[in-house]
Amino acid sequence: MSRPENSHNILVVEDEWLIAIDMQMMIEDLGYRVVGPASNVAAAMNLIENHKIDAAFLDITLGPETSFTIAEKLDALAVPITFVSAYAKKEIPLQFRQFDLKSKPITLHVLARQLRKMLGKKT
């Protein structure tokens, strides 16, 4: 159900197809538009170049790659980022620890709360 106040573009970067589709459906059910999902760094960078991104959920491990270069690009654009991963905070390089980390699988409640936080809305 789309609501004008929620007309934000949310980037999803996840290489596990079922998790990506699940996240996409939850985000769309909350009334937001999903950009992606992208399953690798090149696809994500292409989406960033071609779409306005208001917030992003990034898996850390994308096959043989990591999403840290995507995080750097989004951070430079002042886009709020949340990692969704099985990683522990201490496993993330220091320069990326300022971003929120949510465990997989993310629930609708956690995802909705995180989106409100990322977009500066009251929780």
**73 is a domain residue:** yes
3-class DSSP state of 59: coil
Are 77 and 48 spatial neighbours (Cβ–Cβ below 8 Å)?
yes
For 56, residues 6+ apart whose C-beta sits below 8 A from its C-beta are: 10, 11, 12, 13, 70, 74, 79, 80, 81, 82
Are 81 and 73 spatial neighbours (Cβ–Cβ below 8 Å)?
no
**59 is a domain residue:** yes
4-35 pLDDT per residue, tens: 455 899 999 999 999 999 999 999 999 999 99
**123 is a domain residue:** no
Model confidence at 121, in pLDDT bands (50, 70, 90)?
confident
35-94 pLDDT per residue, tens: 999 999 999 999 999 999 999 999 999 999 999 999 999 999 999 999 999 989 999 999
Number of domains comprising the chain:
1
123: pLDDT strictly greater than 70? no
Q: How many CA atoms lie within 13 A of 118 on its CB side?
A: 29
Domain of residue 52 covers 4-118
CATH number at residue 16: 3.40.50.2300
* Confidence (pLDDT) at 42: 98
Rounded to two decimals, the pTM is: 0.92
* Confidence (pLDDT) at 7: 83
Query: What is the C-alpha to C-alpha distance for residues 9 and 74, in angstroms, rounded to an integer?
Result: 13
